[in-house]
Amino acid sequence: MSEINRRDFIKTSGGILGCAALSGLPFGCRTNEAGSSRWKGFKYAMCNESMAKLSWAEQCRIIGDAGYQGVEIAAFTLVKEGVQEIGPARRKEMVSVMKNTGIECAGLHWLLAPPPKGLHLTTPDAALRRKTVAYLDELIDFCGDLGGPYMTFGSPKQRNTRGISVEEAKKHFAEGLASVADHAQRRGVKILVEPLGKRTTDVVNTMAEAWDVAKRVDHPAIQIMFDFNNTVNETEPYDVLLKRHYKHLHHIHVQEQGGKHLGTGTAVNDYVKAFQTLKDLRYDEWVSLEVFDFSPGGKKIAEESMVTLKQIESKLV
């Protein structure tokens, strides 16, 4: 069964909750366990924000030509006020452009980066939390309309403490996610809690903390992801973290440490054991390139990073 057909099946079967119920496994279970013969290799996507000044068609062409199968979208790069301004016709056009360039939507990230301005999910201001939740609902529909399966919740400035304790912020975080979880599931979307280093936020800095928030929500549409660059506060190596959290891990961000594109550092050697672990586990969801230094330009970032990804693959057994 192809990935697209598999996702369509899951959507029409009541989402991942149906999978869990049918299999008797816990919520958010993975269906492709180690040893499965169905694994077809790594599936790569690239985040679009390094090409924000280019047209959508040009962004998709660069990503597809470089050998990626998907684009991960930072919605703020496409709008002036919010995703509401991207109407149904334009959304269909975006899907058509992706299809014509041989890629698909891998989901959304940088969910609350402005525009719109001023959103915050863990603030003690209840009215602002409600406004932020309402925008998350808009993003869920945008993601669903584009066929995206995941929304990665990073957004460090929009989830940090504002005069409250970390524990209270986590409580607001979980409550906010819980309030949109049913909507996300109806649209075939999972929201993934992203652990971020303390250098960027004081709320959820490790994979264990990310899973703690997801467990508080206790809903199949709320899961976690892994980012190589956001492991600065972890005490265990990549491969151990991946094995421990694999059943609830549904997306991966990859880049050099520090946020530059692959090939500019030591990832070609440093990430081999982690990629071997993912191969052994038959990981079949997205590995998405996310960088923070855009100066080389999107085309160079895409092409050189893909070369490095293939070099890493060549070292696997």
Mean pLDDT of 97-105: 98
Structural domain of residue 215, as residue ranges?
A: 3-314
Confidence of residue 39 (pLDDT cuts 50, 70, 90): confident
Higher pLDDT, 288 or 27: 288
What's the pLDDT tens digit per position in 209-252?
A: 999 999 999 999 999 999 999 999 999 999 999 999 999 999 99
Indicate which CATH number applies to the domain containing 80.
Answer: 3.20.20.150
Kindly report which listed range (2-6, 153-157, 259-263) carries the lowest average pLDDT score: 2-6
- Contacts of residue 18, Cβ cutoff 8 Å, sequence gap at least 6: 10
pTM to 2 decimal places: 0.89
- CA 9/CA 255 separation, integer angstroms: 32
Compute how many other C-beta atoms are within 10 angstroms of the C-beta atom of residue 134: 12
- CA 238/CA 235 separation, integer angstroms: 10
What's the pLDDT tens digit per position in 303-312?
A: 999 999 999 9
- CA 238/CA 192 separation, integer angstroms: 18
Mean pLDDT of the chain: 91
Question: In sequence order, what DSSP letters do the residues of 51-66 get, joined into one string?
Answer: GTTS-HHHHHHHHHHT
Quote the number of domains for the chain: 1
Burial of 98 (0-12, 13-18, 19+ CB in 10 A): buried
Mean pLDDT of 274-287: 97
The pLDDT of residue 38 = 72
pLDDT for 9 beyond 60: no
The pLDDT of residue 29 = 56
The pLDDT of residue 115 = 98
